[in-house]
Amino acid sequence: MSAARALPIHPGWLRAAHWLNAVAVLVMVASGWRVYNAAPLFAFRFPREITLGGWLGGALQWHFAGMWLLFINGLVYLARNLASGRFGRKFFPLTAGDLWRDLRAALRGRLAHADPRTYNGLQRAAYLFVIGDIALLVVSGLVLWKSVQFPLLREAMGGYDGARRVHFFAMAALLAFVAGHLMMVALVPRTLIAMVRGR
């Protein structure tokens, strides 16, 4: 067995960050839906049974707890990836040709995933997208939390109501990523084993 093959597919710090992010996202989405229900943007509400917090004050407390977990864990994840050089190795290069080829293969059910140590073009694009989307959630969340302290961000998002819309659609995009992520795990279950055991 080569030295590269002997190393874990996902190091322990990465697996810990992944599962902490999963918990943070679950807490933030469920509590965020409860906050949304207190002053809906659109002509619907989320069923109370799938929200967290029970009432607006409780939901906000859960949301802030999830926010700090997501923010701190995200900073550690990015710092560790950048410092180790993993970010460049795993996510780049990413070309339009790679993305188009892998997207077509995925739509035909023929996307290869022979080596879980290497991300294909579609995975690279999806992971880069979700990093950017989470950053947008954090920034728009700052505007909603501390609107007076961040006037430039608030105005860049079209005011407070604009920031609410940005936050809502960024949350919807995150859930779309999670749905696609879970679908890929269902199609290639060994990826889940690797994220639990590292090998």
Q: What pLDDT is attached to residue 158?
A: 93
Pairwise CA distance, residues 181 & 177, whole Å: 6
Spatial CB neighbours of 38, under 8 Å, sequence gap ≥ 6: 56, 59
Q: 28-31 contacts: CB < 8 A, separation 24 or more?
A: 28/63, 28/66, 28/67, 28/70, 29/171, 29/174, 29/175, 30/62, 31/59, 31/60, 31/62, 31/63, 31/66
CATH number for the domain formed by residue range(s) 3-197:
1.20.950.20
Rounded to 5°, the CA angle 28-164-141 comes to 50
Residue 42 has a pLDDT of 93
Domain range summary for the chain, segments of one domain joined by + = 3-197
- In order along its 199 residues, the chain shows pLDDT tens digits of 444 555 677 788 888 888 999 999 999 999 999 999 999 999 999 999 999 998 999 999 999 999 999 999 989 988 998 998 888 888 888 888 888 888 888 788 777 666 777 788 888 888 899 999 999 999 999 999 998 999 999 999 999 999 999 999 999 999 999 998 888 777 777 777 777 776 6
pLDDT for residue 198: 66
pLDDT recorded at residue 175: 95
What is the pLDDT at residue 1? Answer: 45
pLDDT value at position 45? 95
pTM of the model: 0.84
End-to-end Cα distance, the chain? 14
pLDDT for residue 117: 75
3 state SS of 157: coil
Q: What's the token pair of residue 90? A: 């795993």
